[in-house]
Structure 1
Amino acid sequence: MKSSLSAHSWLGIGMAAVLYLIILSGTLVVFHTHIERWEQPLAAEFHEFDAAAVESAFNEYLTTPDNLTPHMYLVFPSDAMPRIKFANEQQGEYRNADGSAGVPAYDDWAHQLSDLHYYLHLPTNIGIILVSAMGVILLALIISGLLAHPSIIKDAFAWRSGSERIHFTDLHNRLSVWGLPFHLMMAFTGAYFGLAGLIILIAAEAFHDGDREAVTRQFFSGDPVVEAQPLQVDIQQPLQYLNANVPDGQLLFMTIHEADSEQRFQEYYVQQPGRLIYSENYRFDMQGNFLNRAGYSDGDLAKQIVYSIYRLHFGNFAGMGSKLLYFVMGLALTVVCVSGINIWLNRRKHEDLLNRLWVAVVWGAPLAITVSAISGVLARWPSVIPFWSVLLAALVLAVIAQPAARFRRQIQLAGILTVFVLLAGYAIQFGLAAAFGAGLLLTCGLLVWALVLAVFVIRSSGTGVGKTG
């Protein structure tokens, strides 16, 4: 019985750690485009561009043998990303409004954060299933928490004074109630991404005699059939078509599918005003002749819902207002996750390795993210290995650290130091104008995080208490 309880404790901490990493990274990924702009602040930003010059430059990029991959991308200036970017499946580069060469599109750190949220840096097929399974677990935790606390709604604004355990309990319960609709939506939409394949399989067996392609066509439009196409692409004619037919749409980017074959075609992603769907997609052959559109804006209701989940999950639908709301609610969900384990640790009335490991996860993850930014943004080195190296080092130090409160202060002090190293190095490398230009939001966010860490250090130093995360 004792060994079973011990195994249960370790499993609970492990699952909570994975859930915490997913929620924390997802909260940051809300500002993915801002992070990407901050990561390369020297790129020119604009909204108007010379279509003919950009077409000529993109064709030159497209026909360079070393650049060609099955998918080629042309990102157009938008409100969220006012830059032009040429990219293939491995790398990209920013361009000026006249199509001339700009600076390299460094975005390793931004993608490291996204991949942590989507896949936990695991192989794609494994990672997305694991992350989605955690969405199902989160959904179960929310529902079971409501059922286990029948008075939780009534006590939504109650706040008791007392022990650390009571403090964590009230914090956990209040944030759980206040953010309930958001938390349910995050859990449900997060579970969907990895379980979509299972949903398609079930629907195929139930309604289409096992034909998965029939279900896929119902939710996602299939590729158009085209004759042999040249590699040179005409983008002016599609832009004229879009300006005439969807003048209020927000053009996001264009993808050339099957670019390394003769059945290549181009697809333009245009966000529709007042619609939650990610985009309506317009397909053209390489010579600019209209082929069809995907039908996401007026297709079956199920099709529209499926194509709206991405924006609903990441708050990408009402400008900065929705992003700030999602960020705040994401932080609240992060605190709910941490406080839930803190409650359980406090109930044990003793401190052991589990307390220190939880401290290593809770405070080691933000430290690892900051160190990975120093690697990816300042040194232009891959940022995945530094992230996991720092997190692993924190877990190893937890084995020998004593006590948990002192260990927590040490990690928090390291976090403050790394933030200032990152900001100082950023200012030296790019200049203060860059630090307070496109990346002003992120620069301010890092300063606020350093201040929050300082408050925690001062508070814990003054009281000398606290054995949990």
Structure 2
Amino acid sequence: MSRSTQRVWAARVAVAVLGSYGLAALVSVAALALPGRTIDGVVAGMLISFAVASAVAVVVFAARAGARGGVRPRVSWLHTWAGLLAAWVLYTVFWTGSLAFYREELTAWMQPEAPPQARQVDVAALSDRIAAHLTEAAPGATRWSIELPDVRRLTPTAYWSGPDNDGAQAFDSLTGAPRFARATAGGEFFYRFHYQLHHLPYRWGRWIVGIAALLGLVAMVSGVVVHRKLFADFFTFRAGKGRRSWLDAHNALSVLPLPFHFMIVYSGLVILGFQYMPWGALAAFDGADKRRAAIAAETVATWPAGTPSGQAAPLAPLAPLLRQAEQRWGGQGVDRVVVHHPGDTAARVLVVRGSAGRVTHSREFLLFDGHSGALLQASGPVGTPAAVLGGLYALHLGRFADPVLQAICFLLGLAGTAMVGTGLVLWTAARGQAAGPRFVARGNVAVLAGLLFASAAYLWANRLLPVDVPLRPEVEIRCFFAAWAMALGIACLLRPARAWPLLWSASALAFGALPLLNVLTTQRPFWRSLATGDAVFVGVDLACAALSACLCVMAVHAQRRATRPP
């Protein structure tokens, strides 16, 4: 490539990056001119801005269609490099995000001494039992927050805060008694890792993930432009054809789940959109406090705590308040109960609606007088842009899903993981032994195979670490990163042809042996869980066995390629 061509491409990249974000920022501000409330324009502008940014980037590279080569080669270059720059982060996000669809179930599996929790419970009666415990255990608390069980959340948990201390306690979903089990980071680690990484300031992690997500959105839009036979590619797979097989696999994994991948990446951007695209809110509201209050009032179920009166008064029973909410929202419609100033005449009880029976995360709540139990306020409808944002939030989390739809979302997330992985392998296979591709090839081994090995090590650490080890959740996470660092060392020391089968085999063994480890370290082996209908332990054991089988296939394939004569 000549220097003049390099300068042209550098200029085109600069225009694509700066122009796409700059125009998107202008659109987010221009949306304030839309008729309606100011906050509606702020939210609408943020929602539109990310679509504008990805479209502008593609248009910049598709410009001058009549030039030599036409549109597709230019957009193909964008597709390749946007995907490559974001690929390692996107692979990590897709994998940990897929596991996060089962974060409650993973946490329950990682606390085997706790009895199985019922999914159908009387949350109204349960709330009174938990409130009675909090009255005794946290007498000086100024705020309670009680997360109640639903079809997805297995374990009720109460949090309290006050001038004396803060705390949290899990409860049995049937009896309301305090529930004690080993400390663990559980599935929450994968959930938080998928949008803010770890061992980084959380804002940095969110920016890294956000930039990768925007590049991923650009790669998907440009990928649609590039493929002439988009849907025909899904039905085409030529096994044993080397690079052609990787391309067929990449196309197949990209086409059918494409709507899901668009949704999951775009919704992930807009959920944290006011961090990435704050310009509309900055133009609309003076001061950070006003901005936060205006956005929270439209998107979050919250209420000002108010000032305590200083006069003691018993808290009204919570059960009647929750039954009023259930009459409005249906059974298991309550997500949590927040109590401000319990034990004071100025107490307020906020009952927040959950995601059961609705595909939206839009805020909806009832506010009660905590002393008399009188209904003070019911939340009104949110604006259309906030309703769209709430719907995207709900689709991203998937908490409304029944077990079948939950499994489908999980498998589609794994398809996204494999889509990114096959794209990386395809890129290195097409570029031979140059220095850049060699670096990427070793990084692929560390990220693609190493991340799975680290995930298995994390689950092993949960079973093997002493129950009373100090800072146990953090030690589990350190084991995860230690295993990942080991995988990186293997990738650096061995040629990729040797490292791939080694790490795939190690991961297959680690996941495949987890059900046996569960037999040796807990009282809930597979056969007993199957006999008692313990869906969580049965499901995790079966998922580990299925994943182990897939990794065995990958290991065998990698070993055959390593031993194939050049």
Change (3 A) 1:91 1:202: same
Cα-to-partner distance string for 1:80-135 (whole Å, 9 max, x where unaligned): 23443334576432225333333337451211111111211233322223222222
Q: Tell me which of 325, 335, 340 is aligned to 2:408.
A: 325
Q: Which runs of 5+ in 1 are unaligned?
A: none
- State the secondary structure of the residue aligned to 1:392: helix
Residue 337 (str. 1) matches residue 417 (str. 2)? no
Residue 447 (str. 1) matches residue 545 (str. 2)? yes
Tell me the equivalent position of 1:81.
153
Deviates more, 1:448-457 or 1:37-46: 37-46
Deviation at 1:159? 3.1
- State the secondary structure of the residue aligned to 1:102: coil
CA root-mean-square deviation: 3.6
Once residues 378 and 263 of structure 1 are traced to their aligned partners in structure 2, the CA distance between those partners, rounded to angstroms, is 49
Residue 61 (str. 1) matches residue 144 (str. 2)? no
Change (3 A) 1:160 1:427: closer
Deviates more, 1:404-413 or 1:156-165: 156-165
Deviation at 1:312? 0.3
Once residues 122 and 332 of structure 2 are traced to their aligned partners in structure 1, the CA distance between those partners, rounded to angstroms, is 17
Tell me the equivalent position of 1:109.
186
Identical aligned residues as a percent? 20
Residue 358 (str. 1) matches residue 450 (str. 2)? no
- State the secondary structure of the residue aligned to 1:299: coil
- State the secondary structure of the residue aligned to 2:263: helix
Residue 348 (str. 1) matches residue 401 (str. 2)? no
Change (3 A) 1:105 1:284: farther
Deviation at 1:209? 6.8
Deviation at 1:26? 0.6
Q: Which runs of 5+ in 2 are unaligned?
A: 10-76, 161-165
Deviation at 1:368? 0.4
Cα-to-partner distance string for 1:402-428 (whole Å, 9 max, x where unaligned): x31221111122213322453333223
Change (3 A) 1:244 1:315: closer
Deviates more, 1:180-189 or 1:453-462: 453-462
Contact 2:86 2:215 in 1 (8 A): no
Once residues 194 and 116 of structure 2 are traced to their aligned partners in structure 1, the CA distance between those partners, rounded to angstroms, is 29
Deviates more, 1:47-56 or 1:310-319: 47-56
Deviation at 1:51? 5.3
Cα-to-partner distance string for 1:226-283 (whole Å, 9 max, x where unaligned): 4526696431231232244334452233234578999764332323664212363223
Contact 2:334 2:352 in 1 (8 A): yes
Residue 460 (str. 1) matches residue 561 (str. 2)? no
Describe how 1:389-408 pairs up with structure 2 within 5 A: 389-401=482-494, 403-408=495-500
- State the secondary structure of the residue aligned to 2:303: coil
Change (3 A) 1:280 1:439: farther
Contact 1:248 1:272 in 2 (8 A): no
Letter in 2 for 1:387: F
Deviation at 1:75? 3.0
Contact 2:126 2:173 in 1 (8 A): no
Tell me the equivalent position of 1:196.
274
Tell me the equivalent position of 2:395.
312
Deviation at 1:141? 0.8
- State the secondary structure of the residue aligned to 1:135: helix
Once residues 20 and 51 of structure 1 are traced to their aligned partners in structure 2, the CA distance between those partners, rounded to angstroms, is 42
Tell me the equivalent position of 1:93.
170
Change (3 A) 1:107 1:276: farther
Tell me the equivalent position of 1:228.
308
Letter in 2 for 1:280: E
Q: Tell me which of 331, 338, 344 is aligned to 1:255.
A: 338
Aligned length: 459
Deviation at 1:162? 5.8
Residue 282 (str. 1) matches residue 366 (str. 2)? yes
Residue 294 (str. 1) matches residue 379 (str. 2)? yes
Once residues 355 and 109 of structure 1 are traced to their aligned partners in structure 2, the CA distance between those partners, rounded to angstroms, is 31
- State the secondary structure of the residue aligned to 2:382: coil
Letter in 1 for 2:350: E
Q: Tell me which of 231, 237, 240 is aligned to 2:323.
A: 240
Contact 2:83 2:216 in 1 (8 A): no
Once residues 34 and 12 of structure 1 are traced to their aligned partners in structure 2, the CA distance between those partners, rounded to angstroms, is 32
Once residues 478 and 356 of structure 2 are traced to their aligned partners in structure 1, the CA distance between those partners, rounded to angstroms, is 41
- State the secondary structure of the residue aligned to 2:186: helix
Cα-to-partner distance string for 1:272-317 (whole Å, 9 max, x where unaligned): 664212363223343333332333xx33222222222222013222
Change (3 A) 1:57 1:124: same
Change (3 A) 1:290 1:375: farther
Once residues 60 and 239 of structure 1 are traced to their aligned partners in structure 2, the CA distance between those partners, rounded to angstroms, is 18
Contact 2:154 2:173 in 1 (8 A): no
- State the secondary structure of the residue aligned to 1:95: coil
Once residues 10 and 301 of structure 1 are traced to their aligned partners in structure 2, the CA distance between those partners, rounded to angstroms, is 36
Residue 137 (str. 1) matches residue 215 (str. 2)? yes
Once residues 368 and 14 of structure 1 are traced to their aligned partners in structure 2, the CA distance between those partners, rounded to angstroms, is 23
Once residues 190 and 314 of structure 2 are traced to their aligned partners in structure 1, the CA distance between those partners, rounded to angstroms, is 35
Deviation at 1:341? 1.1
- State the secondary structure of the residue aligned to 2:146: strand
Letter in 1 for 2:431: R
Once residues 311 and 266 of structure 1 are traced to their aligned partners in structure 2, the CA distance between those partners, rounded to angstroms, is 25
Say which one has the larger Rg: 2
